[in-house]
Structure 1
Amino acid sequence: MSLTGTPFLVTAACLLVVAFVLPLALWSRLRGPALVRGGTRVLMLLFAQITAITVVFVAVNNANGLYDTWDDLLGTGDHSGAAADLGPDGTGGQKLSEQPKQPARFTPVTDARMGEGVRVTQLRGRISGVEGEVYVWLPPQYDDPAYRDKKFPVVELLPGYPGSAKAWFGALEVNKQLKPLMEQGKVKPFILVSPRTNLLGDQTDSGCANTPGKVNAETWLSVDVRRMVSDTFRASDRAADWAVGGYSAGAHCAARLAVAHPDRYRAGVSLSGFNDPNGEPAALTAATPELRRANNPYLLLKKATDAGKPPRTALFVSGAAGDGYESGTALKSVAKEPTTVRVVKLTGPHGTSVWKQQVPEVFRWLSEQVGT
């Protein structure tokens, strides 16, 4: 039974009702020695507590898109592949542009919470070796005959950790919110792409980085997924037509990828993120001071700026005080043209309810930055 499916939630709710009724019906009717009666009553109470906790967990998990599968929850799944050392640029010397196209096969999703039009494929990265699902939503203009010769801009969307690739379409309802805005011409017709980021089977966050021998997450996101999308759909492969966005740990990843790879992304969106990987203690990139420095978007941007090579990238950073705002002001303090940083101060909790409200503003901003 699926962890995120309605059947599991209904089953858990039914068991909770049973757990509530059992003590009322049987408490005074139990027979036998006092020890047996006492033990049975304790078991009934434990059953009630466990089912109550389960219902709350399932409801919270479904609302926030934390764990997609039982393997993710239990730490028994591994999507990393062999994780060869791919060098500084993450390509291992391979040039995808010289390889034949390999369009992926997509099927419609069956999860009604994700709305209409979302499709999914299982992708094995040709360079990263990572294998996982990738969700795609096409804008309403995609099948319009007037756009048959157009290549569309793309936004790659990353969840937090733990987090499901479904969350942007489920909890944040990005496609439901953007469809009318795209139809009205208030937002550009972006292709939306959400790949799996929970890649390791030991409950460790990859930090969206390449770690030889562990996982090549950066290559998976910024090379393999990009190439698959441009091979399969009428999607532009120009850096000027691509953006990457995320929330929480995914926000950190988005900012770092945008700063480190202006040759792949024109813009990055960070919602309640952090610069220092130590903000996510479970991340591989937080293991040593060297890794923390190498994967800190603030330090990456400062280094490039100090060297007289500020990247041509635009960053949108939002967060509350102590929850992403300071990360944005730090990035802005070292940014020089052509780098631009927009910082938005928020109030509210660190949660999907806040990030969901930002979707229209974020995509209006992206419409000004990407595809121009």
Structure 2
Amino acid sequence: MAPDSLALQLLTVAAAVVALVALALAWERGSGWRRVALRAGSASLCVATTLAAALLWVNRQVEIYTSWSDLTGAPPAAAALSDPPPVGGGSGGRLVNLIVPGKASGLSLPMMAYLPAAYDARPTARFPVIEALHGYPASPTAWIKALHAPEYLDREIAAGRMAPTVVLFPYTTPDRLLDTECTNLSHGPQAETYLTVDVPAAVKSQLRVRTDRAGWGLIGYSAGGFCAANLALRHPTGYAAAASLSGYASPGITVGDGSEHTLNNDTWRLLHLPPPAVALYLGCARADRAALRDTTALARLARAPMSVTTAYVNGGGHNIGTWLALEPPAFDWLSSWLARPLAAG
């Protein structure tokens, strides 16, 4: 059983119930120090099993650890050895595994990619690309298992609301417990270089995709939402548009060079630097106060040639329910800003 499996979740819940019953039965048993020891042991077991059930529930929601090798510290590259999970009913797109050699960043990591059905049906066409960035703590698998991105993409493309598009699911950090916010940490991983240089270079060499900025976009949720907007603002020659779902205006970490207050702070950038010619989709729940504050601030600061579209979910919060509601229109919006598949010749 994998650490994100429903079977393991149910097993830990059952263990927590059994531990609670055992605590109740053992409470008045024995006497003296034996009673104290029995109570302490039963209570500790009850707390441990309840905590395990809670942690596994959280892991299932955000997909931090999808295998035991992840949990024991094996590098993400190990995930590339397994087949990607199946997509939908098999009549739409498909997932493939790639390896991104980190020639510029020094990070060589696996990456899943969604190929639309048209990728095989039109063997000479080149397709637009969206990089989908996960939150923290989480992994790219959250896009597949929790946010059902392949199924949504199949549906939106089949309905004509979205052009056939290649969607990438890269890691934003080589260490599940290290939050990079997709920046180049002064004394750590060069995540920004990996995502904006190494990933595009690897995909352009391994897949049939458009190579111009008009064919490239970004999307992300939570920390990945900050990543998407920030990378688009910092690299307008590489991306035409970005969608941020419950993202923020600043990274919330120490980058190491002070740029979390300046060049890696989107509010500061829009206040002090000329706006780039990119389009942003900023969506969040109205009950998510921090994301709502930053979304409205960035929308207010935006000016030509930059374009901003906002979307709000009534109520909601900073959670998967909000991202599931925002995800399909965000993909549709991105597709409307990106260039269409390019026919051969």
Q: TM-score, normalised by structure 1?
A: 0.79
Q: SS where residue 141 of structure 2 aligns? A: coil
Q: SS where residue 210 of structure 1 aligns? A: coil
**C-alpha distance in 1 between matches for 2:258 and 2:57:** 38
Larger mean Cα displacement after TM superposition, 325-334 or 205-214: 325-334
Q: SS where residue 294 of structure 1 aligns? A: coil
**C-alpha distance in 1 between matches for 2:243 and 2:268:** 17
**Percent identical across equivalent pairs?**
29
The 3 A distance-change label for structure 1 pair 25 and 123 is: farther
Task: Name the counterpart of 1:118.
Answer: 95
CA contact (8 A) 2:186 2:257 kept: no
Write the mapping of 1:66-85 to structure 2, written as runs, cut at 5 A: 66-68=64-66
Given the alignment of the two structures, is residue 217 of structure 1 paired with residue 191 of structure 2, yes or no? yes
Task: Name the counterpart of 2:116.
Answer: 139
Task: Name the counterpart of 1:248.
Answer: 222
Q: SS where residue 283 of structure 2 aligns? A: strand
Given the alignment of the two structures, is residue 329 of structure 1 paired with residue 329 of structure 2, yes or no? no
Task: Name the counterpart of 2:12.
Answer: 12
Given the alignment of the two structures, is residue 239 of structure 1 paired with residue 239 of structure 2, yes or no? no
CA contact (8 A) 1:328 1:341 kept: no
**C-alpha distance in 2 between matches for 1:26 and 1:350:** 41
Task: Name the counterpart of 1:3.
Answer: 3
Q: SS where residue 144 of structure 2 aligns? A: coil
Structure 2 segments unaligned to the other structure (5+ residues): 341-345
- For 2:190, give the aligned amino acid: N
Given the alignment of the two structures, is residue 284 of structure 1 paired with residue 254 of structure 2, yes or no? yes
Q: CA RMSD in A?
A: 2.9
Write the mapping of 1:80-229 to structure 2, written as runs, cut at 5 A: 108-110=83-85, 117-144=94-121, 147-200=122-175, 203-229=177-203
**C-alpha distance in 1 between matches for 2:331 and 2:203:** 20
Write the mapping of 1:291-330 to structure 2, written as runs, cut at 5 A: 291-305=260-274, 310-321=275-286, 322-330=289-297
Task: Name the counterpart of 2:343.
Answer: none
Structure 1 segments unaligned to the other structure (5+ residues): 81-104
- For 1:346, give the aligned amino acid: V
**C-alpha distance in 2 between matches for 1:39 and 1:60:** 31
The 3 A distance-change label for structure 1 pair 26 and 334 is: closer
CA contact (8 A) 2:241 2:338 kept: yes
CA contact (8 A) 1:313 1:339 kept: yes
**How far is the alpha carbon of 1:275 from its aligned partner?**
1.1
Task: Name the counterpart of 2:46.
Answer: 48
CA contact (8 A) 2:232 2:278 kept: yes
CA contact (8 A) 2:162 2:336 kept: no
**C-alpha distance in 2 between matches for 1:369 and 1:205:** 30
7, 32, 36: which is aligned to 1:38? Answer: 36
Write the mapping of 1:343-354 to structure 2, written as runs, cut at 5 A: 343-347=310-314, 348-354=316-322
**C-alpha distance in 2 between matches for 1:340 and 1:59:** 39
**C-alpha distance in 1 between matches for 2:64 and 2:89:** 18
**How far is the alpha carbon of 1:255 from its aligned partner?**
0.6
**C-alpha distance in 1 between matches for 2:190 and 2:138:** 18
**C-alpha distance in 2 between matches for 1:311 and 1:149:** 33
**How far is the alpha carbon of 1:5 from its aligned partner?**
3.6
- For 1:266, give the aligned amino acid: A
**C-alpha distance in 2 between matches for 1:113 and 1:35:** 58
The 3 A distance-change label for structure 1 pair 12 and 132 is: farther
**C-alpha distance in 2 between matches for 1:71 and 1:284:** 28
**How far is the alpha carbon of 1:253 from its aligned partner?**
1.0
**How far is the alpha carbon of 1:221 from its aligned partner?**
0.7
Q: List per-residue Cα deviations over 1:118-168 (Å, max 9, x = no partner).
A: 333443412111133312111122221xx2211111111111111211111
Task: Name the counterpart of 2:327.
Answer: 359
Task: Name the counterpart of 1:96.
Answer: none
Q: SS where residue 61 of structure 2 aligns? A: helix
Q: SS where residue 323 of structure 1 aligns? A: helix
Q: List per-residue Cα deviations over 1:229-257 (Å, max 9, x = no partner).
A: 22222121211111111111111111110
**How far is the alpha carbon of 1:178 from its aligned partner?**
2.2
CA contact (8 A) 1:78 1:200 kept: yes
**How far is the alpha carbon of 1:356 from its aligned partner?**
0.7
42, 57, 60: which is aligned to 2:58? Answer: 60
CA contact (8 A) 1:272 1:320 kept: yes
- For 2:157, give the aligned amino acid: M
214, 217, 235: which is aligned to 1:261? Answer: 235
- For 2:261, give the aligned amino acid: R
CA contact (8 A) 2:277 2:305 kept: yes
CA contact (8 A) 2:283 2:295 kept: yes
The 3 A distance-change label for structure 1 pair 337 and 363 is: same
CA contact (8 A) 1:120 1:136 kept: yes
Task: Name the counterpart of 1:87.
Answer: none
Please list every run of at least 4 consecutive aligned residues from structure 1 whose deviation after the TM superposition is greater than 4 angstroms: 24-28, 67-74, 76-80, 112-116, 287-290
**How far is the alpha carbon of 1:106 from its aligned partner?**
8.0
